[in-house]
Structure 1
Amino acid sequence: MTEEYAASVRGQVIPKQHVETFLSAGVLRGAGNCATSHDAAAQARRHRQQRRWATQVIVTGELARQACAERSLPPPDDVSPMHLLTIPETDVADLGSIIAAALAHSPAARALLTALEHEQYIPEPAVRDYYDRNRDRFLTPEALRRGVDPYDEPAPADTQPYEDVRNGIAAQLRHAAARRAFFNWLDEARADVVYAEGHEHPGDPSHPDHEHRH
């Protein structure tokens, strides 16, 4: 890999300019985790972490593209690497900014997540157990209007029947399982990625300014 490449993903190189274009297009969404400062050293550290963050977003998209090809999934519509859809704050909180940004930026990442979701099997006892343990989430509209305390063992009539909410619960559990499967896939897939100096993962503990809150 020459000095012009930020990373090599199973033989597919990612040019450094690709990363810089991604950053300069204003796609960063609070990933630096460093306060704005007029100190040159602090600004340099911030940019270095942002560059590492952007590299991870692009690497994740490339890994997902390759995974879609391996799974014979229909190729998703290509999106310019500098284009980034709005990232919901809830996704950043639930997924971390790298994966949230990759899913917003990469059609391949979204296609892979959808495929993983279709593969998840949620057994009926798990769905029923979720319902039984979370009755407070299934109060009827009438019970909510009356101000029924959801934590005070509401009456059966104040709770939506299991049959009415069962499919929604199963879909929610499948979605959560797919996200876990995506995390596991990414951890394994990026193990063989080779990074140029200055483009390593922002949470790499071998660097003194590593940042785990990414």
Structure 2
Amino acid sequence: MKPEHAALIEGEPLPTARVNAFLETRPVRGAGLYRHAAPPRGATSPHEPAPARRQTEPPSVARQRRRWATQVVVTDELARRACADRGLEPPPEVSPAKPLTLAESDVADLGSIVAAALAHSPAARTLLAALESEQTVPEAAVRDYYDRNQDRFLTPEALRRGVTPFDGVAPEDVRPYEEAREGIARELRRAAGHQAFFGWLDQARAGVTYSHGHEHPGDPSHPDHEHRH
């Protein structure tokens, strides 16, 4: 008999129906986010859409997809609660027929579960934005990043001449600090926001108990475990 709830969050049940609803979404072919996430139902890889005639999934693949989906839905529910606690109002849900995608760099930085949760969950995106806005980047950190990554701030003229860090970069080949400062601060604040989000999620998940068949896909206590974030 299948459990009616996929997990208990602080003792409150998260209905299995919410996981099933997420599994019914059909990401379009080539959606950047889903190239790194669980494949759509019936597809043989994350790169393919579900075929018109679904083939039977291997049991281990189906189990792992369900566990992966459970993590996404749990993250959504935790984010909803965190937004409510903070008095934040997430935007309306987006239709599953038009799944959101994230940039490849976001997927690489966040991992497929968190990236999919951010694409799926307005609450998760709202919380991430709030956490990012709370980060303070010291001026010294911005300057240090600039000094250690001069190759990232080469002028167009230097790039046209083929200047590289290995050749020795002259001062006139590098954009002034004042021009680069705002972009660096924004990038560092974004990275700090991601770290704060991961910290929040790790702490929030401590109060989650998963039903059988809905454990984390990387949980070594089940035979199909696979460490994929």
Answering whether residue 156 of structure 2 is matched by residue 141 of structure 1, we say yes
Of 23, 26, 37, the match for 1:31:
37
Deviation, structure 1 residue 36: 4.2
- Residues 177 and 105 of structure 1: is their aligned pair in 2 closer, same or farther, counting only changes over 3 Å? same
Q: Distance in 2 between matches of 1:18 and 1:83?
A: 18
Change over 3 Å in CA distance of 1:79–1:11 after alignment to 2? farther
User: How far is 1:90 from its partner?
Assistant: 2.4
Cα offset, 1:19, TM superposition = 1.2
Report deviation, 1:89.
Answer: 2.7
Contact 2:118 2:124 in 1 (8 A): yes
Q: Does 1:22 align with 2:18?
A: no
**Counterpart check, 1:55 vs 2:55:** no
Moved over 4 A (4+): 80-83
CA RMSD in angstroms, aligned pairs only: 2.4
2:201 is the counterpart of 1:186? yes
The Cα offsets for residues 167-214 of structure 1, whole Å up to 9 and x where unpaired, read as 110110000010011111100101111211101111112112211123
Output the amino acid matched with 1:157.
E
CA distance in 2, matches of 1:87, 1:167: 23
Q: Which moved more, 1:141-150 or 1:154-163?
A: 141-150
Aligned in 2, Cα 1:68/1:83: closer, same or farther, shift over 3 Å? farther
Residues 32 and 5 of structure 1: CA distance in aligned 2, closer, same or farther (over 3 Å):
same
Structure 1: distance between partners of 2:4 and 2:98: 22
Contact kept? 1:202, 1:211, Cα under 8 Å = yes
Query: Offset of 1:154 from its aligned partner?
Result: 0.9
Output one character per residue of 1:108-159: Cα deviation in whole Å (capped at 9) or x when no partner: 1111111111111111111100000000000011111121123322110010
Q: Do structure 1's residue 151 and structure 2's residue 166 form an aligned pair?
A: yes
Q: Does 1:3 align with 2:9?
A: no
Q: Secondary structure at the match of 1:130?
A: helix
- Give aligned-pair identity as a percent: 64
Taking the aligned partners of 1:105 and 1:134, their CA distance within structure 2 comes to 35
SS at match of 1:151: helix
Aligned to 1:105: 120
Report the more deviating stretch, 154-163 or 5-14: 5-14
Residue segments in structure 1 that go unaligned for 5+ positions in a row: none
Higher mean C-alpha deviation, range 156-165 or range 16-25: 16-25
Partner of 1:210, secondary structure, is coil
Give the corresponding residue for 1:68: 83
Of 102, 125, 131, which residue of structure 1 is paired with 2:146?
131
- TM-score between the two structures when normalised by the length of structure 2: 0.83
Match of 2:212 in 1: 197
Matched residue type, 2:226: E
Q: Distance in 2 between matches of 1:169 and 1:153?
A: 22
Q: Secondary structure at the match of 2:226?
A: coil
Aligned length: 210
Q: Deviation digits for residues 64-89 of structure 1, max 9, x if unmatched?
A: 11101111112432345776312333
Match of 2:190 among 175, 180, 191: 175
Q: Given the two structures, how large is their TM-score scaled by the length of structure 1? A: 0.89
Could you tell me whether the CA contact under 8 Å between 2:25 and 2:96 is conserved in 1? no
